């Protein structure tokens, strides 16, 4: 019995769901419907500056790009335009009803170069070595298993590919954000990446840090 209890404790502490509290609002369909309204707020472009983010990521025509945690697919029309007809965009999420909304956008906007992917909390299920750029916009603090996600994202990057984290400062949203930017950087570095560039403010008062695999 003692051994069983010890094994259970090890399993629980070895694989903590670090974002469990933040993700509570996402556990029900009602919760996700509420979030969807904020993600699709028609005034969002003004603050979020999607084109600036894409520019800073160095997205170019013909590239293959993944939007991890695409939600309702807010970034997809912008990314689709930036990579053009010879490029490809993966819009990935772990919630199928968010992807339904993204699917509707792909159809209504005729985004022929976008493929939607249902991943899970540890694996975005992207093909290996398939993407030049990965965007994680307002999503890193939702990763329940950051180490596993980072390993699988690394597998999906082409050699020389970049991972861009855009997120809020903890000091601006202390109840919602798990780590301050410098600790996010340390966590990602300790999972086999190095910093390529960093910008203090972009998008919706968010920081952006771009990484490559070591
Ligand atoms: C605040 S929303 C941001 C959505 C989108 N990036 C945007 O800015 O409009 C967070 C999203 O992360 C997704 N998410 C949470 N954990 C995830 C994971 N491990 N992998 C992929 N997506 C995840 C949620 O389902 C949700 O769509």
pLDDT band at 114 (very low <50, low <70, confident <90, very high): very high
In whole angstroms, what is the distance from residue 35 CA to residue 176 CA? 14
How confident is the model at residue 16, as a pLDDT? 76
Q: Which atom of ligand 1 is nearest to the CA of 137?
A: 6
In whole angstroms, what is the distance from residue 204 CA to residue 160 CA? 28
Which pTM value belongs to this model? 0.94
Residue of minimum CA distance from atom 1 in ligand 1 = 138
Are β-strands 64-68 and 88-93 bridged in parallel, bridged antiparallel, or unpaired? parallel
Q: Which atom of ligand 1 is nearest to the CA of 73?
A: 9
Does the beta carbon of 149 sit less than 6 angstroms from any atom of ligand 1? Answer: yes
68 Cα–ligand 1 center, Å: 7
Candidate from 25, 94, 103 with most ligand 1 atoms within 8 A of CB, to mutate: 94
- Condensed to tens digits (0 to 9), the pLDDT of residues 45-60 reads 999 999 999 999 999 9
CA 10 to chain centre: 28
86 Cα–ligand 1 center, Å: 26
Does the beta carbon of 146 sit less than 6 angstroms from any atom of ligand 1? Answer: no
pLDDT band at 12 (very low <50, low <70, confident <90, very high): very low
In whole angstroms, what is the distance from residue 30 CA to residue 44 CA? 21
Q: Which of 74, 117, 64, 128 is nearest to 94 (CA)?
A: 117
- Condensed to tens digits (0 to 9), the pLDDT of residues 126-173 reads 999 999 999 999 999 999 999 999 999 999 999 999 999 999 999 999
Go through the domains of the chain in sequence order and give each one's CATH number.
17-213 (3.40.50.150)
Q: Give the mean pLDDT of 106-128.
A: 98
Residue ranges of alpha helices (H) inside the chain are 2-14, 29-39, 44-48, 50-57, 76-83, 96-108, 146-156, 181-189
Residue 212, Cβ density class (10 Å: 0-12 exposed, 13-18 middle, ≥19 buried): middle
For Cα atoms 123, 210, 179, give the angle at the middle one, nearest 5 degrees.
Answer: 70
129: left (phi over 0), alpha (psi -120 to 50) or beta: left
């Amino acid at each position: 019995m003692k051994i069983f209890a010890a094994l259970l404790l090890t399993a629980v502490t070895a694989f903590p769901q670090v974002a469990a509290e933040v993700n509570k609002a996402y556990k029900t369909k009602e919760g996700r419907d509420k979030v969807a309204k904020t993600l699709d707020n028609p005034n969002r472009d003004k603050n979020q500056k999607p084109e600036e983010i894409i520019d800073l990521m160095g997205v170019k025509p013909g590239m293959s790009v993944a939007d991890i945690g695409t939600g309702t697919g807010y970034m997809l029309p912008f990314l689709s335009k930036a990579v053009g007809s010879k490029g490809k965009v993966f819009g990935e999420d772990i919630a199928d009803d968010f992807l339904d909304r993204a699917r509707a956008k792909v159809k209504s906007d005729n985004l022929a170069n976008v493929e939607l992917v249902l991943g899970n909390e540890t694996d975005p299920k992207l093909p290996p070595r398939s993407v030049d750029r990965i965007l994680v916009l307002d999503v890193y603090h939702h990763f329940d298993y950051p180490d596993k996600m980072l390993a699988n994202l690394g597998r999906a990057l082409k050699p020389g590919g970049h991972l861009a984290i855009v997120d809020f400062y903890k000091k601006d949203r202390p109840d919602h954000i798990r780590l301050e930017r410098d600790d996010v950087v340390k966590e990602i570095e300790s999972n086999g990446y190095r910093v390529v560039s960093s910008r203090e403010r972009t998008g919706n008062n968010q920081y952006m840090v771009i990484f490559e695999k070591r």
